[in-house]
A and B are shown apart, each in its own frame.
Chain A
Amino acid sequence: MSGAASGSPRRLRAWRNRLGGATPYILLAPGILWLLAFYIVPVGQMFLFSVSTGKLETGFQLTFGLDAYTNSLTRYGEQFGHSLLYGGIATTLTLLIGFPVAYTIAFRGGRYKNLLLFLVIAPFFTSFLIRTISWKILLGDEGPLLGPLKHVLGIIPADTSLISTPIAVIAGLTYNFLPFMILPLYVALEKIDLRLIEAAYDLYASRWEAFRRVTLPLALPGVFAGTLLTFIPSMGDFVNAQLLGSPKTAMIGNVIQNQFLIQNDYPTAAALSFVLMIGILVTVLAYARFLGTEQLTG
Chain B
Amino acid sequence: MIIEVEGLSKSFGGVTAVNDVSLSLKKREIRGLIGPNGAGKTTFFKLLAGNLSPDRGQVLFEGEDITGLKPYKIYRKGIHKTFQHLNLYPNLTAFESVQLALFSQHNRRSDLLSWAGRMFESEVVEVLRSVGLEDKSEVLSSALSHGERRRLDLGIALAGSPKLLLLDEAASGLAPEEAREIMDLVTRLARERDLTIFFVEHDMSVVFGMAERICVLHLGTLIAEGSPDEIRMNEEVKKIYLGE
Is the pairing of A and B real?
no
